[in-house]
Amino acid sequence: MPQPRTLDTYVQRALELGAEGAKIIPSEDVFTAEWVRLKCQYGCGGYGRCLMCPPYSPLPEQTRRVLDCYEHVLLVHGKPGAGIKGLVLSLEREIFIDGYYKALSLSAGPCRLCDRCDVETLCQHPREARPAMEASGIDVFATARKAGFPIEVVRERTCDQNYYGIVMIE
């Protein structure tokens, strides 16, 4: 039976796949908060329009309980154009195939795999679609900053933009 690769290997793999940075962090350093849900509900036009967004995505307390099922998290930092969603999903798949059978990812932003998300039916691409960290009640700002990664409020289109995704691993 082959030994699974060490977790540091996946930091290197993330960089090879186009990430700006990546780190293995303890799952307790991924922060959830009740207010995150309300930022989706009041202020985002995507609320209720996609199966990967609230109210369909996990509640903050559920995400906390799920995070607590894991020891480690691979936090991935991507710049615009890096395709953070595909990148994190590829890592999830690789890590799972390596034997970390609990590997599960969350990424950034709304799901755009279909032209229009029909919230009256089941997801059309369940193998690829994952909720965003923020859609699952994660305080992405606090999480990225704790890990030493950059993130600021995007005040206008010309501002520096940073995207984050995670793969929970054990």
Give the interface with ligand SF4 as residue ranges (CB under 6 A): 50-52, 111, 113-114, 117, 123-125, 129
Minimum separation from the CB atom of position 45 to ligand SF4 (A) = 15
Identity of the residue, 113 or 159, whose beta carbon is nearer to ligand SF4 in the bound complex: 113
Minimum separation from the CB atom of position 127 to ligand SF4 (A) = 9
Identity of the residue, 78 or 131, whose beta carbon is nearer to ligand SF4 in the bound complex: 131
Tell me the C-alpha distance between 36 and 96, whole Å: 29
Q: Which two tokens stand for residue 129?
A: 């679609």
Minimum separation from the CB atom of position 53 to ligand SF4 (A) = 8
Identity of the residue, 41 or 124, whose beta carbon is nearer to ligand SF4 in the bound complex: 124
Minimum separation from the CB atom of position 117 to ligand SF4 (A) = 3
111 DSSP 8-state letter: -
SS3 content of the chain, % helix, strand, coil (to 5): 30, 15, 55
Identity of the residue, 51 or 88, whose beta carbon is nearer to ligand SF4 in the bound complex: 51
Q: Which two tokens stand for residue 56?
A: 């369909």
Q: Hey, what amino acid is at 73?
A: V
Place of tokens 């793969």: 167
What's the sign of the alpha-carbon dihedral 117, 119, 123, 128?
Answer: positive
Q: What is the C-alpha R_g of the chain? A: 15
Minimum separation from the CB atom of position 107 to ligand SF4 (A) = 12
Identity of the residue, 114 or 159, whose beta carbon is nearer to ligand SF4 in the bound complex: 114
